[in-house]
């Protein structure tokens, strides 16, 4: 699940997860490379003015007359606003872009608690650091022991996370990428690549690595004609580089008229749909000829490059039921069902819709 940017003005805070139970609220948020785990025990703040307002907003106390009910994100932002000063102090960097990837593999994690301020000042609540700062993977990264990687990847290059820089878009921070490590990165020699992290999806991650490793073994990219995801390296971390924290893929060059089919500018190019379908069909045939299955056929996994050619990406398996029925998941028959539904049904239906109209339909 993607992190939600907080609406706290100018905070640079992203909510990774949040839960409200019978007796507490727990939020995990990030700002720059740092993680903050914020806990509000209702018993600690229920007799303060801030606490009573907060408990009313989340339905733990009766609402005042005419008080508008807040959304969950607005309720979370009440807590984040209270914690903002200490968050800014502890993490002055607001974006991960331009940072070495290694900083996310061992990032500071702070645990904050909201407590009653017994001197009666202000709204009656203060924020305290609870326990010692720890250094842990952040942004939902979950390193995997390299010993668990598929054998087909044994010959693939290993590159340490310390030599990879999280990239900005055209030299400027992309607001959508401020908190997302997946995407464009630069190696120490300046080469751009696409970083795909391991986030605890172990089976899918290993499946994709296995298929990409076998594509490399079959030398399907050797003549430059194959437009399949291309595995360039495995990213490692740890004292002895004993953990894998993601993969580096060939960065598909896209123009302003390119991208995946979720982009309206791509869907609207009706005159190109036949060409793109033929290219995708050809790539699926190549996969199947080598006993490989695409699996997750969907509109977000076909990318159009700056030469108007279609690429197949995301070989991690699973399925999107809109395109591939569950019973055909990760089968050759499922791949063909997905291709037909994508080009013969989904594209004609959505080619002229805005993204908002498409999601409503």
Rg (CA), the chain: 24
Give the mean pLDDT of the chain. Answer: 90
Asked if pLDDT for residue 272 goes beyond 70, the answer is yes
Domains within the chain, CATH numbers bracketed:
4-136 (no CATH), 144-249 (3.30.200), 259-360 (1.10.510.10)
| Contact between residue 23 and residue 40 where contact means Cβ atoms under 8 Å apart | no
Pair type for strands 34-41 and 107-116:
parallel
- pLDDT interval class at 18 (50, 70, 90): very high
| Contact between residue 347 and residue 263 where contact means Cβ atoms under 8 Å apart | no
Helix 332-340 vs helix 273-289: crossing angle, to nearest 10 = 180
Asked if pLDDT for residue 169 goes beyond 80, the answer is no
Query: How confident is the model over 78-93, as pLDDT tens digits?
Result: 999 999 999 999 999 9
Mean local confidence (pLDDT), 31-49 = 95
Tell me, what's the pLDDT at 266?
92
Mean local confidence (pLDDT), 202-229 = 92
pTM value is 0.88
Tell me, what's the pLDDT at 173?
47
Q: State the CB neighbour count (10 A cutoff) for residue 295.
A: 25
Mean local confidence (pLDDT), 307-334 = 94
Residue 106 vs residue 176, higher pLDDT: 106
């Amino acid at each position: 699940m993607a992190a939600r940017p907080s609406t706290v003005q100018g905070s640079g805070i992203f909510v990774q997860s949040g839960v409200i139970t019978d007796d507490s609220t727990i939020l995990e948020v990030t700002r720059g490379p740092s993680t903050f785990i914020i806990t509000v025990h209702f018993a600690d703040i229920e007799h303060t003015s801030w606490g009573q307002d907060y408990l009313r907003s989340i339905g733990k106390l009766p609402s005042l007359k005419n008080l508008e009910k807040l959304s969950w994100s607005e309720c979370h932002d009440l807590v984040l606003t209270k914690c903002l000063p200490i968050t800014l102090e502890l993490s002055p960097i607001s974006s991960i872009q331009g940072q070495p990837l290694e900083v996310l593999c061992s990032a500071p994690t702070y645990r904050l608690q909201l407590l009653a301020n017994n001197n009666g000042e202000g709204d009656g609540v203060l924020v305290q650091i609870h326990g010692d700062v720890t250094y842990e993977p952040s942004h939902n990264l979950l390193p995997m022991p390299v010993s668990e990687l598929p054998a087909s990847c044994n010959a693939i290059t290993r590159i340490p996370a310390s030599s990879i820089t999280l990239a900005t878009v055209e030299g400027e921070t992309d607001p959508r990428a401020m908190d997302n490590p997946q995407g464009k990165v630069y190696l120490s020699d300046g080469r751009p690549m696409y970083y795909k992290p391991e986030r605890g999806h172990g089976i899918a991650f290993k499946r994709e690595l296995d298929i990409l490793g076998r594509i490399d073994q079959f030398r399907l990219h050797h003549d430059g004609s194959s437009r399949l995801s291309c595995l360039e390296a495995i990213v490692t971390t740890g004292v002895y580089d004993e953990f894998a924290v993601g993969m580096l893929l060939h960065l598909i060059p896209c123009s302003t008229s390119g991208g995946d089919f979720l982009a309206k500018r791509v869907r609207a190019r009706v005159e190109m749909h036949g060409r793109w379908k033929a290219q995708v069909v050809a790539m699926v045939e190549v996969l199947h000829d080598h006993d490989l299955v695409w699996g997750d056929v969907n509109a977000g996994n076909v990318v159009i490059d700056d030469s108007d050619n279609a690429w197949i990406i995301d070989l991690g398996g699973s399925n999107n039921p809109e395109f591939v029925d569950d019973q055909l998941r990760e089968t050759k028959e499922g791949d063909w069902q997905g291709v037909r539904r994508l080009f013969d049904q989904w594209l004609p239906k959505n080619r002229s819709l805005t993204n908002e109209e498409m999601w409503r339909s």
